Amino acid sequence: MVDSLRQRYRIEKNKMERAYEYQLGLKKNPEYERRVDTTFLALVRLFQTMYPEVKIEAPRGREKSDKSLQDKIKKLEIERLCKLYAIEGMTEKEKENLCEIIKSTIEDMKKQGMVDKIFFGQLRNLKTLESLLKDNDIAQCTKTALLRITKTRLQRESRKNKEDLEEQIEEKYGQTAARKSQNLDDNLLHWECIENIEQKDLDKLHNPFEYLRVKDLRGIKIVVAEVPDNFQTNNEQIAELIEKRQKAVQGEKTKYNDLCCIAITQDFVNQLIHNEELLEKLNISLIQDGYKHKEKQNGYLAEHVKFCYRDHPEYIFELQLRSLYREDISRANGKAAHDKRSGKKRVFPSATNKKTFLEKLQSMVPNYTLLKYDYHKNEYYIHKCTLAENMLEYYLGYITLDSEEYVKVMKYLEEESVQK
């Protein structure tokens, strides 16, 4: 009797909920954390052994926040379902589900209604779509999804002007737009390479637990600050850049130092990922398609490399390397700052209520790890940041340190620290 009642009223969790719970389990796994900390130290020591004269900023580690995990999983599910819709089609029920997930990424109720029109309304023109695409409060992945939904509907439904509308989409938001502006970011459909999809990729789309795996739950960052003139290297590119910097006029030296730092990051990555003996010693492997050189029109440039542990492939971490100049323009007031991307604004929680504030803060800010140097012992050590330090790291440049609100929240954090 009890078992039948349990079966009758059992609530099934959806794919995103199961993926989120799995990621939370990994976050709380002490062995996973210990391994990444150990590798963090090993990679920084390796870098300094290879480039002893090169100056770097204090290396930093990061563990995604709970909110960031939820947002990333939601983004991956939207991407997965949009691709399946374009390749295989969907039932009305499945489309309703996808529509609700996309609407959940948008706070404004009026804009949510506009999403309903894109899914189920008449597609006479692109007016509603274009209104949403111009909105800076909507995330880029959501805009891409709305474009894909519109394009797929046009391809699958019989409409008088569908060829004209498809052409408009390509001209304004596809490869044609990117070629005209010479800006790859203008191709909002860039991730939809589905025309020649292979069976293994299709199988992955049908495996949500695998597709929704967050591959940058934990990350490590090395920022190269300066390459000295006397740096000895067999890398001809680096040697040539150092020579050009020495001959450059004062106004160009900063540019060449930046190029020297970038070349160092790329040299380190190439030597690391192509040295099988070293990777085996570190007990890590480069994951499939795990190396990306990311370069954006706004000046952001970095090497992103994802590894997993050989005996625990579910333990994944990302290594990022960039120059100090690129790091500076990616900070709060820089032109490539994170919150300048659509839908990425960092909003400081209201400090009206202490309990609510602390709950939101713990959910929103990542957990940072700093690699500090002990001059007495002549070695690095791991420092785990407190909640207050995490807040300052995440919101530095977004909050005024002498404001009444900041004084209030620091008091909250001090009280919380004392209680613990």
Spell out the domain ranges in the chain: 32-63+214-345, 70-211, 346-420
Mean pLDDT value of segment 44-58: 95
pLDDT band at residue 347 using 50, 70 and 90 as cut-offs: confident
pLDDT in tens, 119-177: 999 888 899 999 999 998 899 889 989 999 998 898 888 777 778 888 888 888 877 76
What DSSP assignment string belongs to 335-377? TT-GGGSTT----PPP-SSHHHHHHHHHHHSPEEEEEEEETTT
User: What does the mean pLDDT of the chain come to?
Assistant: 89
Distance CA 164, CA 194 (A): 22
> With 60 as the cut, is the pLDDT of residue 303 above it?
yes
The mean pLDDT of 282-291, rounded to a whole number, is 96
Q: What is the pLDDT of residues 180-198, one digit of tens each?
A: 766 666 676 664 566 677 8
Tell me what pLDDT residue 239 has: 95
- Residue 300: how many CA atoms within 13 Å on its side-chain side? 17
Q: 29 is written with which tokens?
A: 């796994």
Quick check: 5 pLDDT over 60?
no
DSSP state of 308: E
pLDDT, mean of residues 71-86: 93
pLDDT at 401: 84
Q: How wide is the angle at C-alpha 235 spanned by C-alphas 230 and 240, nearest 5°? A: 65
Q: CA distances (Å), 302 to each of 221, 338, 348, in order? A: 10, 14, 27
Query: Two tokens at 133?
Result: 């695409």
The pLDDT tens digits for 228-261 are 999 999 999 999 999 999 999 988 999 999 999 9
> Mean of the pLDDT values across residues 287-311?
93
320 closest CA partner among 95, 135, 47: 47
Spatial distance between the Cα atoms of 41 and 29, rounded to a whole number of angstroms:
19
Tokens of 114: 């506009």
Residue 306's alpha-carbon distances to 28, 131, 199, 224, in angstroms, are 20, 36, 24, 19
Return the pLDDT at 336: 73
Which of residues 365 and 174 earns the better pLDDT score? 365
Q: Output 364 or 375, whichever has higher pLDDT.
A: 364
- Read off the pLDDT of residues 378-394 as tens digits, 9 standing for 90 and up: 888 999 999 999 999 99
Burial letters 180-193, b for 16+ CB under 10 A, else e: eeeeeebbbbeebe
β-bridge pairing 312-323 and 218-226: parallel
Alpha helical stretches, state H, 221-374: 236-247, 250-273, 276-282, 324-329, 354-364
- Name the pTM for this structure: 0.88
pLDDT higher than threshold 70 for residue 395: yes
**Which residues 6+ apart lie within 8 Å of 183 measured at CB?**
297
Q: What integer pLDDT is reported at residue 398 of this predicted model? A: 83
Residue 319 pLDDT class (50, 70, 90 cuts)? very high
Beta bridge partners of 308: 285, 316
3-state secondary structure of 410: helix
